[in-house]
């Protein structure tokens, strides 16, 4: 009986440890936690990497905004709170389903290479860096931003609220401040060392 009880305890410990090993790593610092439960909603849903931006999107939906209004508001807020991943100087890709038309719309809001930078000039700049490929950081990989123009295009077709209403939450956070997340604090901490040797850094 004692042996059986000990075996049961051991089995439970093995299962518990197995669960820990399978836990997802959700933070850049490597902290783990149990997997998240699923989220269900009947009237709308917003998902972003920053809770405050998610709340902004939900608030827009509650005010009668469309899914596109909510997406623009959340994206603008992310551009402020998580600029290393979602800045207004980046690209935007969207697929929008119109239930009224039973139709999908796609938008490529990616930027192009600068008009003033030719292929030959690019090769010269790469030679200065002793590279044959475009580097992951610095001025050379930057394209013409397409996100803000894409917001405008999407809003014209699918927006219900004023464009200024969509941007108002991000403006408010920019003026009044916002909590910096663990992820952004990490990137801001390591960025100076990663960029200091690049041309034009100061």
| pTM metric for this prediction | 0.75
Count CB neighbours of 94 within 10 A: 18
Q: Among residues 81, 85, 90, 29, which one has the least CA distance to residue 55?
A: 81
pLDDT at residue 155 in the model: 98
Burial of 129 (0-12, 13-18, 19+ CB in 10 A): middle
pLDDT at residue 202 in the model: 63
* 12-56 pLDDT, tens digit each: 333 334 344 444 555 566 666 656 667 888 888 999 989 999 999
Count CB neighbours of 45 within 10 A: 14
Pick 120 or 84 by higher pLDDT.
120
How many Cα atoms within 13 Å fall on the side-chain side of residue 163? Answer: 10
What are the tokens at 170? 């991000």
pLDDT at residue 188 in the model: 83
pLDDT at residue 191 in the model: 78
What are the tokens at 97? 């389903």
What are the tokens at 31? 């902290």
């Amino acid at each position: 009986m004692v042996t059986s009880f000990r075996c049961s305890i051991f089995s439970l410990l093995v299962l518990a440890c197995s669960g820990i090993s399978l836990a997802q790593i959700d933070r850049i610092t490597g902290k783990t936690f149990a997997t998240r439960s699923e989220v269900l909603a009947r009237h709308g849903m917003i998902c972003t990497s920053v809770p405050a931006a998610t709340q902004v999107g939900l608030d827009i939906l509650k005010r009668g905004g469309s899914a596109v209004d909510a997406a623009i508001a959340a994206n603008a807020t992310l551009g402020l709170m998580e600029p290393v991943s979602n800045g207004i100087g980046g690209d935007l890709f969207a697929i929008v389903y119109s239930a009224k038309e039973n139709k999908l719309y796609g938008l490529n809001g990616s930027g192009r290479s600068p008009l003033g930078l030719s292929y030959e000039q690019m090769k010269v700049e790469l030679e200065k860096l002793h590279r044959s490929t475009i580097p992951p950081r610095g001025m050379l990989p930057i394209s013409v931003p397409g996100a803000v123009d894409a917001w405008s295009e999407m809003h014209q077709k699918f927006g219900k609220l004023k464009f200024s209403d969509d941007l108002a939450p991000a403006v408010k956070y920019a003026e009044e401040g916002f909590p910096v997340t663990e992820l952004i604090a990490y990137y801001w901490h390591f960025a100076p060392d990663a960029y200091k040797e690049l041309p034009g850094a100061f």
